[in-house]
A and B are shown apart, each in its own frame.
Chain A
Amino acid sequence: MIRFSLSGLKPSTLFRVRGGVHPETRKFLSAGSAIEAMALPALIRVPLQQHIGAPAEPLVKQGDLVLKGQLIGRARGPVSANLHAPTSGKVIAVGHFPAPHPSGLPVPTITLRPDGEDRWGPRLPRLRPEDAAPEEIAARVAEAGIVGMGGATFPAAVKLNLRGKYPLHTLILNAAECEPYLTCDDRLLREHAEEVADGAGIMARALGVARIIVVVESNKPEAASAMRRHNLGMGYPIEVKVVPTQYPMGSEKHMVKAVTGQETPARALTAELGIVVHNAATAHAVHLAVRYGEPLISRVVTVSGRGIARPANVRALIGTPVADLIAHCGGLSGEPEKLLLGGPMMGQPIANLRVPIVKGTNGVLALSPSETHRSAAMPCIRCGSCVQACPCGLTPFELNARIQADDLEGAAEVGLLDCVSCGCCSFICPSNIALVQGFNFAKGRLAEKQARKHQQEETKRLAAARSAREEALAEAKRAAMAKRKAEMAAKKAREAAEAAAQPDGEVVK
């Protein structure tokens, strides 16, 4: 224990994470502005799939009146999440709408017209986490529809239920926010450190761990000191660790490496090391859900970039159209070169401003031409910069060569599936080669192939089941016919016998 408490003070106890890059953070654009509330948008669109896993099942239909916090989509299956009405109003459509995704493909969406009253429905009963069983806390988190809010959107309750499967000892609260521009977690920690600490304590209780570490990058000293002031969550001591500003420090596995020195095995969970990582914003949402019975219906979003007139951090309802958020921040200043949901390194470009923000949207960025580095690709000069930058220890130039030669299996052999798509290689490449873009393509292609193979096997099974069924039917038919025939024969024989026994004239026939 003493060693642990001392280790928080000594910078040398942090472990080096290999690779990584140091992009200009440009957090100053929005770091100074406090979290603001915004006016109710004219329309709210809640996609049924905002999380990893199965889409939710809609519980409302067109014309229904809903109250704020009412359950409108129920989780389908163990890995899924509930959806709640972000405000009171009328459901005007349950149909398809373009997803907040680069493809812009239509996804099932519930469209709500707010009535302006913002009237709460019955909230979930308050829970006293000090007395509640860990399962109760996890069940409440699931009920409130909380997902990982750092962007991965994995249902939080599933991660809170890892207790039985792995011997856990540490909860790491991820507030590194290594993506440039984003300041939503920074502001959340500065302004709501107490709630975040409490949420962390509740999660620690649900997980059955006694050690909580909050990890903050060194470029957010205010957030770190705010957390240090609230260093107790539900009685659990909270350590604050300041890690160097280095992208991608916020990646779960790299953070665990930086803080504990342990490396997570390839394609394994950090839980195998006894460590669970949650985002700081998730802790805040857990606090609200458990203490106040409020489901996850809003989140803090950083609206930034030089293409935004007044960059800010906004607490926006889930389902608010991106256009409304940008309008709240003074609109666009000039034609943006790129519109992104998320950070500039891993964020997804969008073409349509009418798409809504979802539970995993931590930023809306409008980048002006001066902020994007778009230039023509040049041949690879074998400088090895990408190899040095790759935090996963891969050789991006080799992966790329194999992918360009359509040798996807070969790329998988040399570690394609260990790539976390952080984009360090593309960022550092002096020849501007689209490396990570190629890896994303290859991963998608491989996944599709896998899915097709799976489908083929399943249809084979279906066809086999069908032919078995048909055979059984034919067999039953044959058996029935045979039985009938036998019965008929028996009847005939009986009749013949009877006729023989009766010495009447009929026999002549």
Chain B
Amino acid sequence: MITAAASMSALGLGLGLLLGAAARKFHVETPPIVDELEALLPGTNCGQCGFAGCRGAAEAVAEGTAPVTLCPPGGRDVALQLAEVTGSDCGCGAAGGADLSGMAEAEPMIAFIFEDHCTGCTKCFKRCPTDAIVGAAKQIHTVIWDACIGCDACVEVCPTEAILLRRKPRTLQGWYWEKPAQPFATRGTEAVS
């Protein structure tokens, strides 16, 4: 009885030690959150962040070498989501180095082509990551607003500086009333939270 118990516990102890040693020896990096981060990014590989595509940006964020606020087209929402995944303290504190105050006002931008200056070189047309530019050789190019993400790629390549980024014009469909100011609202919010 005693021998059986002793041998079993010895076996257990030995195997346990073996397992522990193996875990330490063959340790691999924890499954990277890169995939998760990449899914949150716009996925258009526009290159505005300075990394090679959204995959590169996701890797940089996962390593902590880039702030969560790196993605201009994604804006505040994407930054918040990235911060949630990486666990960096964003918006309110400085812990994660992510300060969202600058991003709060970011409005969606779209490219605008001055038709007078367009020579039809098709450079922007070839560069656009979302195929939002319509054109052909020696034809005036134009931008499809709904597909444009305001990534700046076309602005850089235009040889005649005919492209500008502009704030996306408000349309009737997207219009809504301003938030009504309520001088006593703070009391009410305390009660909720």
Residues of chain A at the chain B interface (Cβ within 8 Å) = 49, 99, 101-103, 105, 107, 376-380, 397-398, 400-405, 407, 410, 433-434, 437-438, 440-441, 443-445, 447-449, 451-452, 455-456, 458-460, 462-467
- CA of A312 to CA of B47 in the docked complex: distance in angstroms? 62
* Contact partner, B188, options A404, A445, A452, A455, Cβ 8 Å: A404
The answer to whether the Cβ of B185 comes within 8 Å of any Cβ in the partner chain is yes
Query: Would you call A378 and B189 a contact (CB within 8 A)?
Result: no
* Contact partner, A405, options B130, B147, B174, B192, Cβ 8 Å: B192
Which B131-179 residues have C-beta < 8 A from chain A? 131-132, 146-147, 149, 170-172, 174-179
Neighbouring A residues of B170 by C-beta, 8 Å: 103, 105
Query: Would you call A464 and B184 a contact (CB within 8 A)?
Result: no
- CA of A456 to CA of B171 in the docked complex: distance in angstroms? 18
- CA of A101 to CA of B182 in the docked complex: distance in angstroms? 24
Neighbouring B residues of A447 by C-beta, 8 Å: 176
- CA of A410 to CA of B178 in the docked complex: distance in angstroms? 19
Q: How many residues on B have C-beta within 8 angstroms of the other chain's C-beta atoms?
A: 34
Neighbouring B residues of A443 by C-beta, 8 Å: 176
The answer to whether the Cβ of B96 comes within 8 Å of any Cβ in the partner chain is no
Neighbouring A residues of B102 by C-beta, 8 Å: none
- CA of A447 to CA of B178 in the docked complex: distance in angstroms? 14
Within the complex, what minimum Cβ distance (angstroms) separates A22 from chain B? 25
Query: Would you call B172 and A400 a contact (CB within 8 A)?
Result: no
- CA of A451 to CA of B131 in the docked complex: distance in angstroms? 20
Within the complex, what minimum Cβ distance (angstroms) separates B154 from chain A? 14
Residues of chain B at the chain A interface (Cβ within 8 Å) = 42-45, 74, 77, 108, 129-132, 146-147, 149, 170-172, 174-180, 182-185, 187-189, 191-193
With both beta carbons as reference points, the residue of chain B lying nearest to A446 in the complex is identified as B176
* Contact partner, A401, options B108, B129, B180, B191, Cβ 8 Å: B191
Secondary structure dominating the interface of B: loop
- CA of A443 to CA of B175 in the docked complex: distance in angstroms? 11
Neighbouring B residues of A101 by C-beta, 8 Å: 172, 175
Query: Would you call B147 and A462 a contact (CB within 8 A)?
Result: yes
How many A-B residue pairs lie within 8 Å, measured between CB atoms?
104
List 5 additional contacts besides A101-B175, A380-B184, A438-B179; criterion CB under 8 Å.
A378-B184, A407-B192, A441-B180, A444-B175, A459-B147
- CA of A102 to CA of B183 in the docked complex: distance in angstroms? 24
Neighbouring A residues of B189 by C-beta, 8 Å: 401, 404-405
Query: Would you call A459 and B176 a contact (CB within 8 A)?
Result: no
Neighbouring A residues of B131 by C-beta, 8 Å: 462, 465-466
Query: Would you call A404 and B182 a contact (CB within 8 A)?
Result: yes
Neighbouring A residues of B129 by C-beta, 8 Å: 463, 466
Within the complex, what minimum Cβ distance (angstroms) separates B11 from chain A? 54
Query: Would you call A404 and B185 a contact (CB within 8 A)?
Result: yes
Query: Would you call B130 and A466 a contact (CB within 8 A)?
Result: yes
- CA of A447 to CA of B173 in the docked complex: distance in angstroms? 10
With both beta carbons as reference points, the residue of chain A lying nearest to B44 in the complex is identified as A463
With both beta carbons as reference points, the residue of chain A lying nearest to B176 in the complex is identified as A444
Query: Would you call A460 and B42 a contact (CB within 8 A)?
Result: yes
* Contact partner, A379, options B175, B179, B180, B184, Cβ 8 Å: B184
- CA of A397 to CA of B192 in the docked complex: distance in angstroms? 11
Pick from A410, A433, A444, A459 the residue with the most CB of B within 10 Å. A459
Query: Would you call B42 and A99 a contact (CB within 8 A)?
Result: no
Neighbouring B residues of A403 by C-beta, 8 Å: 179
Neighbouring B residues of A467 by C-beta, 8 Å: 45
- CA of A467 to CA of B132 in the docked complex: distance in angstroms? 14
Within the complex, what minimum Cβ distance (angstroms) separates A241 from chain B? 35
Neighbouring B residues of A449 by C-beta, 8 Å: 77
3 nearest A-B pairs in the assembled complex, by CB-CB distance: A444-B176, A405-B189, A434-B180
- CA of A452 to CA of B175 in the docked complex: distance in angstroms? 13
Query: Would you call A105 and B180 a contact (CB within 8 A)?
Result: no
- CA of A438 to CA of B179 in the docked complex: distance in angstroms? 6
Query: Would you call B176 and A105 a contact (CB within 8 A)?
Result: no
Neighbouring A residues of B45 by C-beta, 8 Å: 463, 467
19 contacts between A and B (CB under 8 A): A101-B172, A379-B184, A402-B192, A405-B189, A407-B192, A434-B182, A438-B180, A440-B176, A441-B179, A444-B176, A449-B77, A451-B174, A455-B146, A459-B149, A460-B42, A460-B44, A462-B44, A463-B130, A466-B131
